[in-house]
Amino acid sequence: MRKLIQVLPAQATQDGDGVKIHRLAGRRLNQVLNPFLMIDEINSDDAADYIGGFPEHPHRGFETITYMKAGRMRHRDHMGNEGVIGVGDVQWMTAGAGVLHSEMPEQQHGLMHGFQIWLNLPAAEKMKPAAYQEIVSADITEQQLPGGGLVRVIAGKVDLDQQLLQGPLPDISTQPVFMDVKLAAHETVELSFNKENTAMVYVYNGTTDAITSRQLGVYATGNTLRLEAGASGADLLVLSGRPINEPLVQYGPFVMNTTEEIERAITDFQNPHFLSRLSANRNPE
């Protein structure tokens, strides 16, 4: 069994145009989250907390994963991609060499609940062409649990009761595992995946026997992750991936390996001709 080795609280902050979020990120967490860079949660039924959204901004050197639990978010980017993701949907975007995009709420009121997760890319892939894909909720692999819970596998391969569940995304070099797990009161589940990599569990509602809401539990390597819900049940994300053991330099929306590469990213995105060159090499999808 994997052992719980650390518990970290998410911190309240703001990003974009005043959007209120809870975040796990920063230099001191880089090695803990590796290969992930950040976990953000938006969860509010007050439109003032989210309506400003995330106006147009650049990225380079990593991937962004947006997962919606309630509400709707519209994505636009410089390559001409546009779409709306709603309840249970996922947007998986590879920024690679560069993307300029916006993410704006597609509603004026009501509950907005979702996550954005940043996943690093190894040096050899940081400058590959940008790519974008949407995964609708119906295409996500699901397995009901005997006690009433539900496991959704968005990425990776997971063994549950000797049954292999595989998410809809193809295998990539960082070997990400991404699950959304709902447990009924006192329900337990045992999940096997990525045994040579650590695992992270973010509880976003309820409690487990070891972690409460808006806390991240870090679990050691091992064959099996055992989770047990508290008296009110638990809703949680499970993340794992192969660490990238390379230098990491981050400047806001750019994540590279050297200071010189960060300076180049800033220069590129200040060049009005740069995005037209990127668009010429747009992902055919």
CA distance 280 to 285: 13
pLDDT above 90: residue 41: yes
Beta bridge pairs of residue 63: 94, 119
Domains, the chain: 4-240 (2.60.120.10)
Average of pLDDT values for 254-281? 85
Residue 280 has pLDDT above 70, yes or no: no
pLDDT category at 278 given cuts 50, 70, 90 is: low
Two structure tokens written together for 71: 């509400």
Per-residue pLDDT tens for 125-138?
999 999 989 999 99
pLDDT value, residue 87:
98
pLDDT, tens digit, 9 for 90 and up, residues 146-166: 999 999 999 999 999 889 999
The confidence score (pLDDT) of residue 283 equals 46
Residue 50 CB neighbours (<10 A): 27
| C-alpha span between 51 and 91 (Å, rounded) | 19
Exposed, middle or buried: residue 93 (CB in 10 Å: 0-12, 13-18, 19+)?
buried
pTM of the model: 0.95
Cis peptide upstream of residue 35 (ω within 30 degrees of 0): yes
Residue 46 is given by DSSP the state: -
Tokens representing 24?
């796990």
Phi, psi dihedral angles at 118 (to 5 degrees): -100, 130
Q: 279: pLDDT confidence band, cut at 50, 70 and 90?
A: low
Listed in sequence order, the residues at least 6 apart from 39 whose beta carbon sits closer than 8 Å to its beta carbon are 10, 23, 24, 25, 33, 115, 117, 202, 216, 237, 239
User: Out of 29-33, 135-139, 191-195, 280-284, which region has the weakest mean confidence (pLDDT)?
Assistant: 280-284
Q: Residue 81 has what pLDDT?
A: 87
Tell me: pLDDT of 255 over 50. yes
Model pLDDT, residue 281: 54
Phi, psi (degrees; rounded to nearest 5) at 96: 50, -130
pLDDT of residue 285: 40
- DSSP state string for 47-80: GGGTTT-EEEEEEBSEEEEEEEEES-EEEEETTS
The confidence band for 272, taking pLDDT boundaries of 50, 70 and 90, is confident
Contact between residue 116 and residue 237 where contact means Cβ atoms under 8 Å apart: no
Query: pLDDT value at position 93?
Result: 95
Q: Is the pLDDT of residue 17 over 70?
A: yes
On average, the pLDDT of the chain sits at 95
pLDDT tens for 173-205 read 999 999 999 999 999 999 999 999 999 999 999
Q: What is the pLDDT of residues 83-107, one digit of tens each?
A: 999 999 999 999 999 999 999 999 9
